[in-house]
Chains A and B, each alone.
Chain A
Amino acid sequence: MDKNKKEETLLTKNLSRKSFLVTAGVAGIGVLVAAEAATKSRLVPPVEIPTGETTIIKIDDFKTVKIDSKSDILIRMQVELKKALTKPVEQRKWKMMIDTRKCVGCHACTVSCIAENKLPQGVIYRPVTTIEMGTYPNLKMKFLPQPCMQCDTPSCVPVCPVNATGKRPDGIINIDYDVCIGCGNCIEACPYKHRSMDTGTNYCDETPSVQPYELLPNHEYGKDWTREGEFSATEGSARKCTFCLHRLEVGELPQCVTTCIGRATYFGDINDPNSLIAEMAAKPNQMKLLEDKGTNPTVTYLM
């Protein structure tokens, strides 16, 4: 199938399922709406991201869990995360760093992310690549988890024809699945190949029955992506890692961070100079992926 044809199919598919759910409800037009009209109706300004005082979130401290220098870094990072939430969103800057020396290539992050975000078959937000180097018996092995780089100069955002994706004040690149038309431009534009198309396929489609965990709504962006009948609310949209924004806003670390059995992923507000992430960001042995592409990724690596 050539590329144009593919896009067309996706667009049609997207409309046939989404027009009823969204467009019809909003614009008051019928189900049998022309593709062109529907596309135009979505040419709206970027989704407004709330800022200021209303975005301050106060979450209770742990009542009984004590924090000290020996605490698991997961606890320290979570405490720092809650502190960051007490500032308006525009004053936080989420950053992730991955220590490749501590990563063991176990894929716990990959799977935890799939489970948390109820990702359909074919969509993986955080693949981990294994690289072997050297000659027997002098060998090296490196593992590279690759979430969305949440670039400061993203190449995925400008190519969106409908303003469905944007850079939030806290640094996260978001996608509004209700606006996304599934054209695939952003998927092509991402030099890291960290966006993929949600084709609505369940893992158990070809088995005796789709299983209940596949029918649960996800919480991405704090919104209710409840399925409409057999259709997923996100089908036909581009998908990508959100840093588990829905968890951040309730004081929880991203799942890839909490589940990491090597504690190789650091996360926090880089604007907080006393945070672990700031401490790590000051280390000399840093690397960015595809620096030459000029995307300025927020996610960096310790080598």
Chain B
Amino acid sequence: MKNSDKINIKRRNFLGKGALLGGVSLAGMFFGGTASAKAQTAILKKKRGEKPYELNNAENIIYSSCLNCNTGCGMKVKIQDGVLSKIDGNPYSPFTMVPHIDYKNSIDDAAKIDGGLCPKGQAGVQIAYDPYRIRQVLKRDGKRGENKWKSVPFDQAITEITEGGNLFAHVPGEENRYVEGLRSIRALKDNDVASAMAKDVDGIFNEKDKTKKKELVEAFKVTYAADLDKLIDPNHPDLGPKNNQFVMAWGRLKNGRKDFFNRLGAAFGTTNLHGHTTVCQGSLYFTCKGISEQYIGAKFTEGQKFYWQTDIESAEYILFVGSNVLEANYGPTNRTVRLMNNLEKGTTKIGVVDPRFSKAASKAKTWLPIKPGEDGALALAIVQWMIDNNRYDSKFLKSANKAAAKEAGEASWSNATWLVEITEKGPGKLVRATDLGIKAAEKRVVDDPKDKTKEINYTEDFFTVMVNGKPMWVDPNDEDEAVYGDLFIDTTIKNKDGKDVRVKSGMQILKESANEKSFAEWCNLAGISQDAAVEVATDLTSHGKKASVDLHRGVAQHTNGFYNVYCWMAVNMLIGSFDWAGGLSAGATYKYDGSNDGVFDLKKQSGKVKAFGISSIRHEVDYEKSTLFAGYPAKRNWYPLSSDMYQEIIPSIGDAYPYGVKALFMYMGAPTYALPAGQTNIEVLSDVNKLPLFFTSDILVGTTSMYSDYIFPDLSYLERWEFQGNHFNNIYKIETVRQPAISPIPETVKIYGEEMPISLEALFMGINEKLGLKAFGKDALGSGLHINRPEDLYLRGVANLGTSENGGVPMASKAEQEAFSKARRHLDKSVFDEDKWKKIVGKENWAQVVYVLNRGGRFQEHSKGLSGKMLANKYGKLLNLYQEKTASKKYSGTGKSYYGYPKYVPLAQFDGKPLDKLADGYDLTLITHRTITQTKSRTNGAYWLTAIEPDNGIIISNQDAYRLGLKAGDMVKVVSATNKEGIYDLKHGNTKEMIGKVIPTEGIRPGVISFTLGFGNWASGAADMLINGEVVVGDERRGKGIMANAAMWTDPSLNNNTCLVDPVGGSVSFYDTKVNLVKV
């Protein structure tokens, strides 16, 4: 039998089962004709009929938001004969045109204008229509990871998950295994008890005295004697209730769907809702969170989990560091168009710091092929040069409060001049005016930033600066009295008791940090010529406010990521281009959640159970405060400043530290594939004793969902809702709305009596309904405001966008409303029911809702992006060059204090030991990079993309290849000290070897090798599966090339079950491993 015949037979056998998209008759799934267009003028005079062009007709177009990477460009989805035919850029969106067309332009004009879009965006068609898409709930019909499945009814799956039982008695070895369901895991249901416990646990936390802490624990046990059975461990009440043993995790999650997570989490009463930030560029986020902490109510709070990026459109000089701007980096479509226009005009020049000669490097004035992990050295070399040569914005840096910033024509100000107390341990607390007795403390009241209806009463004791050599108090938020501090202070002053206090300004501390080594030594460490470093330092300081450093994950994904970012951000603070046109942008969004005068308050929720206790990944909590404190190193790392440590979720479950987890839900995540040393996650996931219940939501049987007990089919981004938001580099205020553009692929189910496709929302609503929670259902958003369908939340979010801020958007005309309906005639009633939709938002809001949806979101006009020489949407707040809060925290691996200032930190393990031992005998530094055609784990099924770039390989310098006797096309295996076999152990005898072809090039720093992410997939349609007794043959095109993350070092001080981590910013280490290549 020919192979193709075999496949055909399998395909036919499979048709009746219907579990996959490939198994259903497609004919019945699509309907709705195409809006008629005028016949085309004859191009060829011939018999064959004319085909009028219907794709530029507003009635065949739905605007939505791409998600083939996280940039979320506005997209224009064109429908032909009820089928998704073509995706282009939405011309209303600033991501796809420069300038984008005005928001008030007609939809008929817009229909005829296609904006740009990158190849991944184009290939969204194949993400939606993927023959391996799942349509029914799959339940494990073999051991975890065996890839044997049977489809089960949605209701059955929900019941099994909530009620538990001997769910896998049909699987050998699990005959007697009882699985605890969510109902029983949710032990603590009384919110009053939970709230009281949470308060008392806070008390235990904040008690510094060991003995008293113990007494408080004993008292707690007495107070809550009746409810101790609901705690994970009554002797450690700070672990919280058993509810925490349900962990909800996600890969790519955007607003709207995030509300679904938050609501179910809050109703369930678990503190464990964890994202994936640290696998991307976590430490970039968390350094900038530290920089953006605000001094409110006498403490540093409200730091934003975000970062700044360059406003390319107006920039004159940009230094891209570790940011692959033309292929990734938020993102190709929106940044490339601006950059290439300006480079061609000659108005912008760029420098690129990257060990690999990237496409961006090919367009750069200067390419600096840095040694991986030495970003801090290069940044401090530049800081040193800037200070030595007086090439910094002293006016900006001297401005010590808001009033000074205003006077200086700035929007933001820094604490560069504030005085820091220096002890034998180094820089510590900021000096308060009350310490020096130069200003009396004041009782003040301020709005609670977390809840505007509340106020905080506090005592303000003010900071200090030196003004012409004299100590002076400063109120950072004062808008009236400008204070300008002296920049470089290193002196001893008397405190109020007459004792000598050694103080330095933040600038002084930075200067000393930058002077720890000579310029030549820094450059040598970074592997960069001094001439090149001087050139970029000169360029950075020759364009006033139109210059900046644009950072991304190349800087952040090291064990020293937090401080690498900090050092580069110090360069940005010396330049001082925050909020300036051509400088650094923070981004801005319209509010969908009602928090800015919206008509619906989407945060409203009753029936919550106060979540408390240490999270399963120990985030935003001090090890020293916990009752688990047992000296250094801690058993695993604690992250007092960071959150969403993706790499911690599953290994922490494996180690049952701080506690065991009973159920894990993972949405749109592939940690086994995406994480460095992701194979360690497979060890835990495939062990039913370590993780009793594991269920996932996925559109395919993916590299991680294949290890789950149940996979719930999900909607692709072309079938669903979300609020994509904005990104920092886009200076226009926007909110891009994702909305169903095609009918759902999964089957539909009934929840709350409403028909809807199986999806993340249906899953959560189903659990909520079964458990009798109030996150969704009747009155979920307040009296009369139900969430019985996903649209109940999403459409109200759209109504908020449409109606808020300056009266909202215009009303859609009658004609526009008609076009709106016609453009959705192909949508199944389970996702589009106009009468229902009108009822949800109310007649009075409908025309504005239509206006927003007809444009795919709300977008500020191009002409409003700038206000004078500044960005219209500003950060406009305090910037912490010195981070007091950071300095107050400790490494849980060593007990040493974090540094509160930019500092060169060498690469290290969690326990502080250097990496030399791991490196011994291995001499190539392994890094990774992105190609524009792939997004890590989720684009391998886009055949248009794999047709162009079918696989990847190991990129190695010609010099190294010659030394190792390798030539182009040779196949090599990647091995390291912690993966000597060079394999992924997928379990049950399946392995995936890390073998790839050699691609020698001049375009990479000798000693460094790289591979593009996105290839070497072992699931997601790449592998054979058994579903309902039938073999579904995998497609080898989906698994070509190499994924070498498993070669990345595991940390010996973390039981070798986790990759190396940045203990401060939480990032995983992607670029620090030394490997060898073995010819096969």
Contacts and interface: CB of A to CB of B under 8 A. Distances in A.
B1002 A106 contact: no
B109 A259 contact: no
A114 interface: yes
Interface string A39-73: 00000000111100011010000111110001110
Nearest to A54: B41
A262 B1021 CA distance: 33
A107 B942 CA distance: 14
A225 B51 contact: yes
28 contacts: A54-B41, A70-B99, A78-B113, A102-B340, A104-B332, A107-B948, A112-B119, A121-B947, A139-B1003, A176-B46, A207-B22, A207-B131, A207-B1035, A208-B14, A208-B21, A208-B1032, A209-B23, A210-B131, A211-B26, A212-B84, A212-B129, A213-B83, A213-B126, A221-B43, A221-B44, A225-B51, A258-B114, A263-B341
A112 B123 CA distance: 8
**Shortest 7 CB-CB contacts between residues of A and residues of B:** A208-B22, A141-B362, A224-B51, A222-B40, A211-B129, A258-B114, A203-B943
Given A110-B119, A225-B48, 17 more contacts: A50-B45, A65-B102, A65-B113, A107-B933, A115-B123, A115-B944, A136-B1006, A139-B357, A139-B1002, A142-B362, A174-B44, A215-B83, A217-B51, A222-B43, A252-B56, A261-B118, A263-B341
A261 B333 contact: yes
B1002 A135 contact: yes
Interface stretch (B85-93, B260-268, B984-992): B85-93
B99 A259 contact: no
A111 interface: yes
A114 to B, nearest CB: 5
A288 interface: no
B105 interface: yes
Interface in A185-225: 203-204, 206-213, 215-217, 219, 221-225
Contact of B117 (A63, A207, A261): A261
A13 interface: no
A247 B53 contact: yes
A293 interface: no
Nearest to B1002: A136
Contact of A213 (B102, B129, B359, B1001): B129
Interface string A84-119: 000000000000000101101111101110111000
A49 B943 CA distance: 36
A159 to B, nearest CB: 20
Given A108-B118, A208-B1032, A261-B337, A219 B53 contact: yes
A168 to B, nearest CB: 8
Contacts of B11: 208-209
B448 interface: no
A139 B53 contact: no
B50 A222 contact: yes
B327 interface: yes
A274 to B, nearest CB: 20
Interface in B104-135: 104-106, 108-110, 112-119, 121-123, 125-126, 129-132
Interface in B1027-1063: 1032, 1035
Contacts of A176: 44, 46
A132 B1003 contact: yes
Given A204-B943, A219-B53, A223-B49, A258 B22 contact: no
A136 B1003 contact: yes
Contacts of B957: 136
Contacts of B23: 208-209
Name the interface size band of chain A.
35 or more
Contacts of A208: 11, 14, 20-23, 131-132, 1032
Given A104-B359, A217-B51, A203 B45 contact: no
Contact of B126 (A107, A203, A209): A203
Contact of A216 (B41, B85, B109, B932): B85
Nearest to A136: B1002
Interface in A235-279: 245-247, 249-253, 255, 258-264
Residue from B23, B336, B367 whose CB has the most chain A CB atoms within 10 Å: B336
B83 A63 contact: no
A28 interface: no
A207 B8 CA distance: 9
Given A99-B344, A107-B932, A174-B44, A75 B944 contact: no
A264 B83 contact: no
Residue from A111, A124, A142, A250 whose CB has the most chain B CB atoms within 10 Å: A111
B175 to A, nearest CB: 33
Interface in A134-171: 134-137, 139-143
A49 B44 contact: yes
B343 interface: yes
Contacts of B117: 108, 112, 259, 261
A178 interface: yes
B129 A246 contact: no
A134 B958 CA distance: 12
Nearest to B357: A139
A72 B97 contact: yes
A200 B944 CA distance: 15
Contacts of A259: 88-89, 114, 116-117, 122
B329 to A, nearest CB: 12
A19 to B, nearest CB: 15
A101 B48 contact: no
B919 to A, nearest CB: 23
A57 B115 CA distance: 24
Nearest to A218: B51
Contacts of A75: 97, 101, 113
B42 A50 contact: yes
Contact of B45 (A49, A65, A74, A135): A49
B106 A64 contact: yes
A34 interface: no
Nearest to B125: A213
A222 B337 contact: no
A55 B119 contact: no
Contacts of B100: 72
B748 interface: no
A141 B105 contact: no
Residue from A101, A178, A213 whose CB has the most chain B CB atoms within 10 Å: A213
Contact of A108 (B30, B106, B119): B119
A173 to B, nearest CB: 13
A282 interface: no
A209 B22 contact: yes
Contact of B932 (A106, A137, A139): A106
Nearest to A68: B99
B945 interface: yes
A37 interface: no
B559 interface: no
Given A64-B109, A106-B118, A141-B357, A101 B104 contact: no
B687 interface: no
A228 to B, nearest CB: 12
A99 B26 CA distance: 43
B517 to A, nearest CB: 23
Interface in B344-379: 344, 357, 359, 361-363, 367, 369
B441 interface: no
Contacts of B1005: 136-137
Contacts of B125: 115, 213
A64 B105 contact: yes
Nearest to B4: A206
A148 B365 CA distance: 33
B762 to A, nearest CB: 23
Contacts of B7: 206
A71 B99 contact: yes
Nearest to B82: A212
A246 B1002 contact: no
B516 interface: no
Interface in B988-1019: 1001-1006
Given A70-B99, A115-B86, A250 B53 contact: yes
